[in-house]
Structure formats: structure tokens, C-alpha cells
Amino acid sequence: MRFRTLAALGAGFLLASMAACSDAGGSVAEPDGSASGAGGAGAGAVGTGGGQTTSSAGQGGSTASSAAQGGQAAVSSGAGGSAGAGGMDPPPSEDDLYVAPDGAEDNPGTLDAPTTLYKAVTLVQPGQTIYLRGGEYLYVPTVEIAHGNDGTPEQRKRVYAYPGEEPVLEFKDQYYKKGDPASPRGVELHGSYWHIKGIEIANAGDNGLFISGHHNVIENCVFHHNRDSGLQLGGRLGELETPEEEWPSFNAIVNCDSYSNYDPPDGGDADGFAPKLNVGEGNEFHGCRAWNNSDDGWDMFNRNGKPLKPVLLDQCWAFDNGYEEGGYMSTPPPVPYMGNGNGFKMGGSNGLASDHVITRSVAFGNKVRGFDENNNIGNITVKNCTGWLNGSMNFAFGEGGCHTFINNISHARKSGDEPVGTQVSNAFEGATDADFLSLDRALAKAPRNPDGSLPETDFLRLAPTSQFVNAGSAEGPALPYSGAAPDLGAFEVQ
């Protein structure tokens, strides 16, 4: 049984107050522990210098601490902005391994005699770093980090771009045929306690990066034009064969971009990020962007009677998915793919419940829906998110779940939203263009900051005079705010 109580608030938007779901008890869903924390001063960081990943968040920062350490994350963040990158990384040394586009398999992996990435991942020891020199690596076989090839909680194994250089793993010559399991992936990470940073992966025959291991950090990486999802989490032994206790867990994806992934001929399966089918506890995405993917920006599809464990997304942007270029109502008209075209697809298969959490995130210009429950009958928590100009609904949560909505803004969608569940301080009606500093969609693709964090632009940020400033609630996952109360939407006015 569901009911909704709505009251008008101030300048034309709606405060949905205490609209209860009988199976939710009126409380805010949180993943395996309280979602709490606060940011301090300074840039957000994910540090791995000592091996164990820790995070500190500050102005413009969002943390990914507990996924890497083994606990479900609180949303602990700095005021505004996105997840910071960097941390106390060790500088290159003669004890590390070096890889170059012209590296030789028989070389020892020194700076003067670099080896290949295929060889380096078999040689690297816990606490050691593999440095990839800049340039294009024309690779064909999958780079496999085997199951059991692990770092430790204290000393990770690392694969980093050499400082100041841009390595690109280019798999354009890989075999591809849609539906053929022989189509190879670019990189497979079956090991645990790895940190991969600053790598670009393109044109793989399947996923750019597939992760089945645990406690890994993927930071400042780019995935594009792969012929399935850019990055996927899944079972090492296959969707049906992998036991639930081996599903990938406690992985943190931080400040990564995934775009223009497409599986010909129909484009029905290539997402930006795909934590789907077999996903264990404690996986998180922070400060990531997904655009122009042929299917969805994020796909959290459930199947085979086993729901995904809760996934946390914080400060993530999904836009223009389902289109080859441009987005809904862009000029010139966009070229559509045959995929679904959702921003954040957060379910799949009737009767399965996954209590995902998404905070401070943006969905706009997607072919169909911005934020979509997709038959998830659980309690998804959606807090401080902004949906704008999606092809149908910005918020589509009316297919069987009973969800929680706090401080969200919906503006300029094609059809009415369906936010079924507990509602606190949302604006699903009443927003105007004047509430925002800028609606220039091109700003969403602006270059990232030098530390890898999301660009700080005026796009979809509230004007200081907006009716939504200081109009929110502090209920639910704890997020920092300035002023008398939280603002609505994905960006806090400073």
C-alpha cells in the first residue's frame, strides 16, 4: 500500500512530506551501515602510498574510502564538486616495473629496457608499481590479471600511467562478433587489491575493463569505443556459474569517464559502466561520467533470481546515452542507437530488490529516462540529484519499488515523473531555467581538473537567487551543505 502527501512550498515547487511506503517504514534506505560523514578542507583524495587505500574529502571532494578497505561506504564528501584524485602516490623508482609501447617481452622491465604489460602483471609484487609510458599500445590478446594474482590490504599492486604521460591501450584489431563469447575483452582484472590509474582503454572486442576481483581501485581512467560496456563488474566464472560469495566486492571506481561504447549492429548492450548480473557488496562509483553510450550510462540489471548487492553512486553524470552524438533535443538532431538510452538504469527482472544509493548525481539528455528503477522492487535512495531534459521521464520509479527521494530537482522532461515512495523536499514540479546559472550542455564535457576531479562549471548549478537554495532536508545519507539547510539538486551553492 502506498500513499503520498504533497504540500505546496514557497515559489511554486512541491515539498513531498512524509509520503510513506508500508514496506519501507518511512525510513531512508542505507547500504549496510549508516551513510554519514563530513568533508573537511582541502581537495578530495584517494591515497594509496602505504598500500591501503584511504580517503580524505574536502572542498570539492568525495571519498571512496570504505569500498577499498572492506566496508560499505558512507557518503563522506567535501562541499560541492567531485571526487578528488591523487593522494600520496610513491614516485617512480628503480624498484618498479616499466612498460612501453615498444617494450619487449624478454626485457626485465627497467626504465631503459621496458617490457610489455602482459609480462609485467605476472612479475609485479605487492607494494610495487607498473608504470606505463605514454603512447599507443597496439594490443590484441586480452591483458589478464589472473585470479589469485593479488596485492594485500597493506600493499597493493599498482598499474599507473607514468607521471605526465598518457598511455592508451588500443585493441582495435581484436576479433568482434556480437554474441560470440570468443570476442575478447581489453583488460580482465580477476585479482584483488590492485590500483589502476591514468589508463585509457579503447576499441576492445567486448568490455574495455572487466572486474571480477575485490578491493580494487580504478582511478582517472577512460574507456571509449569498446564493443560492449566500457567497464563491467561481473562473475569470473560467468553469470550462472559464479557463486554469490565470489561476486566482485568492495571495488571503487573514481573519476573515470566512459563514452561512445557501441556493440554493432544494434547497440543494445554497450553501457558506460555496468555493475550488473553478478555484483557483491560494497561497490562504489565516485565522480564518474558516462555519455553517448549505445545502451545506458549505468546499467545495474538484475537477473536469474539473484539481486545485486547495493551499489553506491556519488557525484556521477550520465548524459546523451542512447545517441551516437548529441542528446535529446540537441541541434542538429541526434543520431539514435537501438539501445535503451537511460542515464542510470538501477534494476531489471521483476521481483528482485537491490537497495542502491545515488547522491549528488546528474542525468540529462538521455534518449529515454534519466533515473530509472527498471522494475527494482527494493528501496533505492535518491538524494540531491538533478534530472533535466531527458527524452521521457527524468525520474522513473513507478514499476513496483518503494523508494526514497530527498532534495531532488526535475526540470524540462518530456513526460511526468513517477517518484513512488517516501518523498522529502523534492521539486518534481516548478523548476524554471532561471533557477540555474547555465544550461549549456557542452560544459558537461569540459576537461577534468588536474587532480582528475570533475570540472567545476556553472552547468546545472543553482543561481544564488534560486527558490531551491536552503530549501532541502538533512535527512538520509549525510552530505555537507552551507547555509541554513541543504540546497536541492546535485550542486550546493557555496
Q: Is 35 helix (H, G, I), strand (E, B) or coil?
A: coil
Ramachandran region of residue 459, left (φ > 0), alpha (ψ -120 to 50) or beta? beta
Residue among 420, 481, 379 nearest 30 (CA): 379
Amino acid at site 477:
P
Phi then psi for residue 119, to 5 deg, are -75, -40
The sheet with strand 371-372 has its strands ordered as: 143-145, 187-189, 209-211, 231-233, 273-275, 298-299, 344-345, 371-372, 395-397, 418-419
* Chain centroid offset of residue 431 CA: 26
**In whole angstroms, what is the distance from residue 74 CA to residue 465 CA?**
31
Intra-chain end-to-end CA distance of the chain, in Å: 40
**In whole angstroms, what is the distance from residue 373 CA to residue 414 CA?**
18
Strands 273-275 and 231-233: parallel
Catalytic residue among 119, 276, 345, 383: 345
**In whole angstroms, what is the distance from residue 464 CA to residue 56 CA?**
28
- Cell match 615498444: residue? 102
**In whole angstroms, what is the distance from residue 494 CA to residue 486 CA?**
11
Strands (E), 198-243: 200-202, 209-211, 217-219, 222-224, 231-233
Active site residue 177: no
Beta bridge partners of 223: 201, 258
- So which residues are the catalytic ones? 345
